[in-house]
Amino acid sequence: MVIAIDGPAGAGKSTVARAVARALGFTYLDSGAMYRCVALAALERAAEPAALAPGLAISLGDRVLLDGRDVTEAIRAPEVSEAASRAAADPDVRRALVVKQRELLAGGDWVAEGRDIGTVVAPDAAVKVFLTADPAERARRRAAELGADVGVVAAEQSIRDARDATREHSPLESAPEATVLDTTGMSLEDVVGHVVALAGRGRAGEPSAP
Ligand code: CDP
C-alpha cells in the first residue's frame, strides 16, 4: 500500500515520512530529491531541466545517486532548492518524474512524500496526509536543520511556497480526502503516531479522512 504525505517545505514531511516508514517496515520515497537531482544536473550542465529529466538515472536510498554519483549533500544546497522549485513548474519535467515515481510505487509498501503524491502520482493511495505548519515555525525548523539564518530561510521559503502553490501544473494542494495535520505545536512522536494510526485504518480499507 501507499501512504502519501504532501505539504510545503519545512512542514516535517521528510522526518515524519522516514519515521513512519521505519515504524511500519515500508520503503520511503522522497520525490523532492528527484526534482532536486534534475535541478542539480541542469545547473551543472547548463542545460534545460526538461531535456535532461527523462534520461537521468536517479537512485534513492540512504544515499542519493545521480548517474552513479553521490549527490546526497549537493542536492540540499539553497541554490538547488530554488532551481528545483523552478524546474518543478515545467510540465515536461513533472511528466518524466511522475513516470519514474509510479514505476517505483507499483510494487510493495511505500511512504511517499512530496507535493502531488496524493493528487497526481498515487491518487489511489490508501492513506493521504497533508502536513502543514505555520510559516515562521517551518522556517525555524529548516534554518536549524541547515544551520542557516532564519530570516534568509523564511524569505526563500515564501518565494518557493508561492511558486509551488500557484503553478499551473500540479500545484501544491491537499487532496480533498486527505487528513490535514497542522504540526505547529505537535511533537514528532505525536505526528508519527497519528499517521501510523491512519495507516492501520487504511489497511483495514477504511477512508483516511476522519
Ligand atoms: O524539502 P523541501 O520541502 O524543501 O523540498 P523538496 O520536497 O525536496 O522539494 C524540492 C522542490 O521540488 C519543491 O519546492 C517543489 O517545487 C518540488 N517538488 C514537486 O513539485 N513535487 C514533488 N512531488 C516534490 C517536490
Per-position DSSP letters for 123-166, written without gaps between them: TT-SEEEEEE--HHHHHHHHHHHHT--HHHHHHHHHHHHHHHHH
Residues paired with 181 in a beta bridge: 131
Q: What are the C-alpha distances in Å from 29 to residues 6, 32, 45, 109, 160? A: 12, 9, 26, 10, 21
pLDDT of 169 = 87
- Our answer on whether the CB atom of 157 is closer than 6 Å to any ligand 1 atom is no
Which pTM value belongs to this model?
A: 0.92
- Our answer on whether the CB atom of 164 is closer than 6 Å to any ligand 1 atom is yes
User: Which CB contacts under 8 angstroms, 24+ apart, belong to 71-76?
Assistant: 71/37, 71/40, 74/40, 75/33, 75/36, 75/37, 75/39, 75/40, 76/36, 76/146
- Our answer on whether the CB atom of 35 is closer than 6 Å to any ligand 1 atom is yes
Q: Could you list the pLDDT tens digit for every one of the 210 residues in the chain? A: 999 999 998 888 999 999 999 999 999 999 999 999 999 999 999 999 999 999 999 999 999 999 999 999 999 998 999 999 999 999 999 999 999 999 999 999 999 999 999 999 999 999 999 999 999 999 999 899 889 999 999 999 999 899 888 988 888 889 999 999 999 989 999 999 999 999 988 777 665 555
Nearest CA to ligand 1 atom 15: 85
31 CA distance to ligand 1 middle (Å): 7
Atom of ligand 1 nearest to the CA of 86: 16
- Our answer on whether the CB atom of 141 is closer than 6 Å to any ligand 1 atom is no
Q: Cα 193 to chain center, whole Å?
A: 20
Q: What are the C-alpha distances in Å from 43 to residues 37, 77, 86, 163? A: 10, 12, 12, 19
- Our answer on whether the CB atom of 101 is closer than 6 Å to any ligand 1 atom is no
pLDDT of 206 = 61
